Structure 1
Amino acid sequence: MLILLLAVFACDKNDRDSPPEIVAEEPDTSGDTDNDEGQDNPDTGDGDQNSGSESFKLPEIDLNNWKVTLPIGNPTEVKPPAILDYATNETLKPFMYNDSINGALVFYTYPGSTTTNTSYSRTELREQMVPGSNSTNWTFPEGGRMKGTVQMDEISKDANDKFHRTMVMQIHGRLTNEQRDLINEDDNNAPPMLKIYWQDGRVRVKTKELKDVNVNDVDILKTSSWTDDDGFYFEERVDYNQFTLEVIASDGRLEVILNENESKVYDGIHMEKWNIFENYFKAGNYLQTIDEGAFARIKYYDLVVSH
């Protein structure tokens, strides 16, 4: 009997002295960029050493119809199907990775490489209705809906101790090839009809308006014919909490909903005129500054698009 008790005690001691194996989804990327110095990658599993692999969660995001633009290269883009392997893609790892403790997809960015029509950089998804192609898009009469759960994780401040701002969602316009040729443009770029920002702990919405509502059918296609509206702030502060955004586009109408509670509707002449454009959704982290040392880290817990 004594021998049996000693054997049980020894087995129990070995079990207690050996912590469960931790299965990490992503390595620490905190040292991959100068702008991320001293920041902890939430995907390392630090501070949760007693958790087993069953505690890890993945974001509810299907990336089959998204490409991502990064603040590096010319800039660098990763399209389907390569984007589906983001967890092991060495190019993507510093900018797009799992927070597997909380079940979120993290978008990290800093001032770096930019696209043609902006001075700001991004780690941002671009909708592709046909995976790998930008050519198939949608119009407001055809309709589109995007819904996502978002959280500001961390963002830098400017020299006046004010938070920088970042764009978390967009509806961007696109010219068809025929429209592009009609106005002698070099590319298919059209204005973004919708821009949604995290700004000082609140959600701000901006849309486009025509400078002249009587503009002709050719000039209406030109970016110079459109300007930003005054912008709109939702009343609720989101700060560093999770919040849900839903964007619903339909014939001559646009609605933005925060936390299924507050709603802003645009349904005037400007939206009616916008029906002429193709569009695509964007989501992620589009930092609105070129300040040295600036950065932002946004979490997406889910993201769904339908047409």
Structure 2
Amino acid sequence: MKNIRKELLVLILSIFLSVNATSQNKKSGVTDSDIKTEKKAKKKKKKNKKVKLPNIDLSHWSVTTPELNKKGGAMNIEPPEILNYATDERLIPYMYNDSTSGSLVFYSFPSVATTANTKYTRTELREQMVPGDNNTNWTFAQGANMKGKLAMDEVSKDAEGKYHRVIIMQIHGRLTNEQRDLIGQKDNNAPPILKIYWDKGKIRVKTKVLKDLSATGEALLHEDAWGDDDGFNFEQEVGFRKFTLEVKISEGKMVVILNNSEYKVYEDVHMRKWGVFENYFKAGNYFQSRDEGAYAKVKYYDLEVSH
């Protein structure tokens, strides 16, 4: 009787173990499949998340590149054509999206395609308050703000092993047609009141100063009335990291802000008398070298202008 019970117990235990093993195998098989499917879905989702676009509205910007146009000058593309930069063969080498970082890359190098009054080349945006029109600009009295989030991506070094400099933002002065004719100048160019450099990993600011503080009226309009200041270096080292730059303009005043923490304020006679000019913003990669093989790539993640 004991043997029968023992055999029965062994039989029941064997059946239980067999059923449980089958159940576990089935359960394990389903789980493995689910995990694989879930992993694929997560991988696909993660891959899709990597595709990012810069937060930049180009409808009020034109761009100049190191490419020659048909007239032998630097190529300039205005709105609405600039909006097709991702497919425009004229722009693709110099201005393109980095979809992994969500930035707009500006690439420049020394070429023969220079603009007036400079030996350097650029892939640089020029503000157009009215798309396609360079004749509508702003004054200090009207006020203006520009803010960008950017980073130096790549830049070459000179013979001494020092990084080449790049102008990453500007405010350029402009003569009205009436002012141009008054002083007998052939074009509307006026000096840049602001140049912001990426200089060996730091941010350097240059502005203009009036040579004769007593100058007024027509005398202020001539380029040779203005000289360069000594420049200002922000303390922070940005290197190749992402940083923010903001420029705030109001009557007689210009403020440059780095990373919302360091400020350089210009509020003096030079700023007050600069009010005679119209102005426009510039942003991008104005490369400051003619060295053979030199180049730079600047990334812009955000760029906003308001008036």
Instruction: Please report the TM-score for the alignment, with normalisation by the length of structure 1.
Output: 0.85
> Separation in 2 of the partners of 1:117 and 1:20?
54
Query: Aligned Cα RMSD in Å?
Result: 2.3
| Cα distance in 2, alignment partners of residues 110 and 283 from structure 1 | 16
Deviation at 1:150, TM superposition (A): 1.0
Q: Residues of 1 paired with 2:32 and 2:239: CA distance?
A: 51
Structure 1 counterpart of 2:119: 119
What is the CA–CA distance in structure 1 between the aligned matches of 2:257 and 2:32, rounded to whole Å?
A: 59
Larger proportion of helix: 2
Of 51, 54, 70, which aligns to 1:56?
51
Partner of 2:64: 69
Give the match for residue 46 of structure 1: none
Distance (Å, rounded) in 1 between the aligned partners of 2:43 and 2:33: 18
Spell out, residue by residue over 1:91-149, the C-alpha distance to the aligned partner (whole angstroms, 9 max, x if none).
11111011111111110100111101111000000000000110100000000000000
* Greater Cα offset, 211-220 or 267-276: 211-220
1:15 to partner: Cα distance: 6.9
Q: CA deviation at 1:13?
A: 12
Provide closer, same or farther for how the CA distance between residues 19 and 115 of structure 1 changes in structure 2, counting only shifts above 3 A: farther
Give, in angstroms, the shift of residue 218 of structure 1: 1.2
Q: Distance in 2 between matches of 1:70 and 1:89?
A: 13
Q: Deviation digits for residues 190-224 of structure 1, max 9, x if unmatched?
A: 00000000000000000000111112311210111
Match of 1:261 in 2: 261
Structure 1 residue 19, shift from structure 2 partner: 10
1:233 corresponds in structure 2 to 233
Deviation digits for residues 160-208 of structure 1, max 9, x if unmatched? 1111000000000000000000010000000000000000000000000
Letter in 1 for 2:284: G
Report how far residue 277 of structure 1 moved. 0.1
CA distance in 1, matches of 2:255, 2:216: 27
Alignment partner of 2:66: what SS? coil
The range that moved more, 192-201 or 81-90, is 81-90
- Distance across 2 between alignment mates of 1:69 and 1:15: 48
Distance in 2 of aligned mates of 1:270 and 1:13: 68
Q: Structure 1 pair 20/69, CA: closer, same or farther in 2 (3 Å)?
A: farther
> Is there any run of 5+ residues in structure 2 with no aligned partner, and where?
1-21
C-alpha distance in 1 between matches for 2:208 and 2:275: 13
Give deviations 1:27-75, integer Å, cap 9, x for gaps. xxxxxxxxxxxxxxxxxxxxxxx95333201010000100000011110
After TM superposition, the structure 1 = structure 2 runs for residues 21-32 of structure 1, keeping only pairs within 5 Å, are none
- Counterpart CA distance in 2 for 1:62 and 1:97 is 14
SS in 2 for 1:163: coil
1:81 corresponds in structure 2 to 80
| 1:1-307 equivalence runs, <5 A | 51-73=46-68, 74-112=73-111, 113-307=113-307
Structure 1 ranges of 4+ moved more than 3 A: 7-16, 18-22
Q: Deviation digits for residues 249-273 of structure 1, max 9, x if unmatched?
A: 1100000000000000000100000
CA distance in 2, matches of 1:179, 1:206: 25
Displacement of 1:21 after TM fit? Answer: 10
Q: CA deviation at 1:12?
A: 8.2
- Matched residues in 1 for 2:82 and 2:42: separation? 31
1:224-271 Cα distance to aligned partner (Å, 9 max, x none): 110110000000000011110000011000000000000000001000
Hey, what does 1:47 align to over in structure 2? none
C-alpha distance in 2 between matches for 1:83 and 1:63: 7
Q: CA 1:157 to 1:252, structure 2 compared with 1: closer, same or farther past 3 Å?
A: same
